[in-house]
Chain A
């Protein structure tokens, strides 16, 4: 059976062997015309690198000699290595943190903002860290706040209040980086959720208020269910982005100390540009990419099932 032309209604499906009406063919053609450029760009700048990475992950290549086909050897070696699993666990921890803390905080603050009059500037204030370049954020936190010699923590230490720098602890380094990233990220989520909350018909909230529903009841039973598509989308994107985290880790700790904050992307960078083992670097990237694809597929599946409604 031929695929249903883009935009055609369910009822207008063409029977097998029957020619499509000219208007449908024109609509189909014009659809391709509009989609074409972005599809071409995607193929050039997305699909090609994706397939090149997948191919490279099956080779041994130091950047100078010709790549040698090694099959699944890179994956097998990685799966047997502690640094790979250490980095994967750190990515999992990172994902759990970012799927819970900033989302919950942002929902709460966005709902609270809705009740505050004339404080719209707070939205801007919350968004400021997000628009600062990552390196600037990281350097400010690293050198001016957390540093035990030159930062606020150092100054407090000299005045008898000792707060250890989490970035130099093998136990807390990952959480230290997460705090810096959360500082920038939660404000962005707040603005997104605040905008979504404002789309809700106020009469619904007023009616609930009249019925005696408090802040929490309104938030949990009315507001969050009504912005479920936005929340779900942000959850999925957070999942995907959490496997792409690189800049904060690279600038703040470079994966250390003792590999305690290593994530898959920094490990891939280490293999690629410190050891010049591009095959293994590509294999790590392929693993991270597959997890991202899994998340997106899950999101599309939920959409298809009508979960958002």
Chain B
């Protein structure tokens, strides 16, 4: 009898112990270097683990993230907190029921008020919320300020001003536009994004994304023709295919090139390379190349989304972690730890006081402020990686090189793009889209 009692008490102790143990939540991270990973662990993960005793988050750095994630999910495994590389990736998981709806948590934590509605709508499918926007991105014109001042140039606002600088730069043996895709083929789509938005214009792109205008319509043919002209006339770096994006930015830093079109992430390389060359840099909105495009216009890209996996055993804990991650004091501490990484803030309705820091590069702060303002007022353009279906995006990236090499005519290229887009729409791969007015 005594033995039975002892065993009963012992099992109770074990049960109590097991229930008192914090439940583990897994989180996979990609595209961080070791320092960033360590900082993230210290500020975000450890911060959450210390803030409560019910859950412990364990973060892992994963290479080839998208592939690993798909393989894990197809085996019923994978991380509890599920990062995707943007709404076009999230839609595949939400469509297949691999992430859970977050609407109840959104009400509980007030996420629908915390985030800008239009950016939250990008993570909705059939009116259900499946993810939170991790950070936003946009495209800018980066230029060598020292070189511009020396030549009496000011950042161009329209096609004429742009052409004048390009012609003068060419005459002086300066590469007008630095670019390189040796380490990242996706560089090609940055330039496609630029001409589609700043030549064809956001309204036309929206018509294209909603199926009201085919991608081989004359306005898009003209836009891609413009990009092809730049290529054929040698405006881009001569060794585009041999240069990495960092090496391309170094051409701007050394004055070998005058400017480049790149995203918010380029601030990191701009800061590093210009500190070595001792010259000054700045950024400006991308010029409007036709009357169909407004100025200034900032493309919206959601660089990542956060969701909760269908296989997560503790979704309440995962939601608590997501809420912790998006508290201003947490993401500001994380952003301050990497002041020149070029990472913009989550697209939220945060006060200026909450998101201002003297530790951040003022040029990054200005980018944040201007892009956020455009998102709030709905004056946005569209990045190919956030609004196009993934297969169409890949085709655009790969086949544009055939246009540049003369193997493919612009009209044929856009016909291929349009055919693939229609197929992707049919297959339900089109991510949600926001109208230029800011509505879904």
Contacting residue for A64 out of B74, B242, B401, CB 8 A:
B74
Asked if A276 is at the interface (CB within 8 A of a chain B CB), the reply is: yes
Task: Please tell me the number of chain B residues within 8 Å of chain A, measured between CB atoms.
Answer: 29
A94 to B192, CA, bound (A): 33
Check: B73 CB closer than 8 A to any chain A CB. yes
Known A63-B74, A64-B98; contact A256-B241, beta-carbon cutoff 8 A: yes
Q: How far is the CA of A260 from the CA of B241 in the complex (A)?
A: 12
Distance of A197 Cα from B60 Cα, bound (Å): 53
CB closest chain-A residue, reference B395: A275
Which residues of A sit under 8 angstroms from B64, Cβ to Cβ? Answer: 273
How far is it, in angstroms, between the C-alpha of A150 and the C-alpha of B70 when the chains are bound? 37
Residue of B nearest to A277 (CB): B391
- B3 proximal to A (CB < 8 A): no
The answer on a CB contact under 8 Å between A259 and B239 is: no
Query: With contacts A64-B74, A64-B98 known, is A257 near B239, CB below 8 A?
Result: no
Provide the A149-189 mask, 1 if CB < 8 A to any CB of B, else 0.
Answer: 11000000000000001011010000000000000000000
Chain A interface residue count: which class? 20 to 34
Choose from A257, A274, A277 the contact partner of B241 (Cβ within 8 Å): A257
Do the beta carbons of B242 and A148 come within 8 Å of each other? Answer: yes
Question: How far apart sit A275 and B407, CA to CA, in the bound complex (Å)?
Answer: 23
> Hey, what's the 0/1 contact readout for B346-369 against A, CB within 8 Å counting as 1?
000000000000000000000000
Closest approach, in angstroms, between the C-beta of A74 and any C-beta of chain B? 14
B338 interface residue per 8 A CB criterion: no
For chain A residues 231-281, which have a beta carbon within 8 Å of chain B? 253-254, 256-260, 270, 273-277
CB within 8 Å of B: which A116-175 residues: 142, 146-150, 165, 167-168, 170
A62:B92 contact, CB within 8 angstroms? yes
Check if B391 sits within 8 Å of A275, measured CB to CB: yes
Contact partners of B242 in chain A: CB under 8 A = 146-149, 165, 167-168
- Inter-subunit contact A257/B92 (CB<8 Å): no
Distance between B428 CB and nearest chain A CB, rounded to angstroms: 10
Measured CB to CB, the closest approach of chain A to B92, in angstroms, equals 6
Closest B-chain residue to A256, C-beta based?
B401
User: Is A211 an interface residue, CB under 8 A from the partner?
Assistant: no
Assembled-state Cα–Cα distance A150/B92 (Å):
41
Are B394 and A259 in contact, CB atoms less than 8 angstroms apart? no
Q: In the assembly, what is the distance between CA of A65 and CA of B407, in Å?
A: 36
Nearest to B181 among chain A residues (CB) is A256
**In the complex, A171 Cα to B240 Cα: how many Å?**
16
Which B391-425 residues sit within 8 Å CB-CB of chain A?
A: 391, 394, 398, 401-402, 404-405, 407
Question: Inside 8 A of A142's CB, which chain B residues have their CB?
Answer: 182
A256 touches B390 (CB 8 A): no
CB under 8 Å from chain B, chain A span 87-115: none
Q: Which of B182, B185, B401 has the most CB of A within 10 A?
A: B182
State how many angstroms separate the Cβ of A52 from the closest Cβ of chain B: 13
Closest CB-CB distance, A171 to chain B, in whole Å? 9
Q: List 10 A-B contacts (CB under 8 A).
A: A64-B70, A146-B242, A147-B239, A149-B243, A149-B247, A256-B185, A256-B241, A256-B401, A257-B405, A259-B401
Additional 11 contacts, C-beta under 8 A, given A167-B241, A260-B405, A274-B394 = A62-B92, A64-B93, A146-B242, A148-B239, A149-B247, A167-B242, A170-B405, A254-B185, A256-B241, A258-B401, A273-B66
Question: Which residues in A have some Cβ–Cβ distance to B below 8 Å?
Answer: 62-65, 142, 146-150, 165, 167-168, 170, 253-254, 256-260, 270, 273-277
Nearest 8 Cβ contacts at the A-B interface: A168-B241, A258-B401, A258-B405, A63-B70, A258-B402, A170-B405, A64-B96, A148-B239
Residues of B bordering A, CB below 8 Å: 64, 66-67, 70-71, 73-74, 92-93, 96, 98, 182, 185, 238-243, 247, 390-391, 394, 398, 401-402, 404-405, 407
